[in-house]
Amino acid sequence: MSTSETSEIHSGGRGHGDKKNIVLVVSAPNTPDSKHMPFKTDLLVGAAADEAAEKFGYAAGGTPSFRVGTNVLDRNITLADAGLQHKDEVDLVSAGGGV
């Protein structure tokens, strides 16, 4: 087994939490089920939240963001810079409060 193959095994393999892609578990208000959504780690929080809002059926034009615990994430930083990791649970919220 090559060194790169060993690294992939220890990091979870391709597409499963590698340094370029993560899956977030996203919950939205008034929606009983969360959704597992894949994102590139260099995507801005705001762009990822926009995509998530669309998948949950929210109208375009708001300012959605993600919340981790009580911390609403800055829409202008990347998912990586926000410290999000593969399978983290986030809530979809408006940057000014609830969606």
pLDDT at 96: 62
pLDDT at 61: 79
pLDDT at 18: 52
Going by their DSSP bridges, the two strands 89-94 and 35-40 should be labelled as unpaired
Query: Does residue 11 form part of some domain?
Result: no
Residue among 12, 13, 21, 18 at smallest CA distance from 78: 21
pLDDT at 15: 40
Along the chain (99 residues), what's the average pLDDT of each consecutive run of 10 residues? Answer: 36 49 96 96 97 92 93 97 97 74
Query: Does residue 3 form part of some domain?
Result: no
pLDDT at 3: 40
Residues whose CB is less than 8 angstroms from the CB of residue 4 and which lie 6 or more positions away in sequence, other chains included: none
Domain of residue 61 covers 20-94
How many angstroms separate the CA atoms of 28 and 41, rounded? Answer: 21
Which 3-state string (H, E, C) describes 15-54? CCCCCCEEEEEEECCCCCCCEEEEEECCCEHHHHHHHHHH
pLDDT at 60: 80
pLDDT at 95: 82
Q: Distance from CA of residue 69 to its chain's centroid?
A: 14
Number of domains comprising the chain: 1
Query: Does residue 6 form part of some domain?
Result: no
Query: Does residue 81 form part of some domain?
Result: yes
Query: Does residue 71 form part of some domain?
Result: yes
Query: Does residue 12 form part of some domain?
Result: no
* CATH code, domain with 90: 3.10.20.90
pLDDT at 39: 98
How many angstroms separate the CA atoms of 50 and 66, rounded? Answer: 10
